[in-house]
Amino acid sequence: MFTNGVFDLLHVGHVSLLEAARAEGAALVVGVNSDASVRRLGKGGDRPIVPGADRARLLAALACVDCVVLFDADTPGALITELRPDVLVKGADYARDDIVGATEVAGWGGRVVRVALVPGYSTSELLGRLRRDARR
pLDDT in tens, 56-110: 999 999 999 999 999 999 999 999 999 999 999 999 999 999 999 999 999 999 9
**Does the 2-135 domain belong in CATH 3.90.1150.10?**
no
Instruction: List alpha helices for 6-122, DSSP H.
Output: 12-22, 35-40, 52-60, 77-83, 102-107
Q: What whole-number distance in Å separates Cα of residue 116 and Cα of residue 121?
A: 12
User: Average pLDDT, whole number, for the chain?
Assistant: 93
CA-based R_g, the chain, Å: 15
Q: Is the dihedral of CA 17, 21, 27, 31 positive or negative?
A: negative
What is residue 36's predicted lDDT score, i.e. its pLDDT? 95
Question: Residue 78: which of 95, 53, 101, 112 has the closest Cα?
Answer: 101
User: Residue 126's pLDDT is what?
Assistant: 79
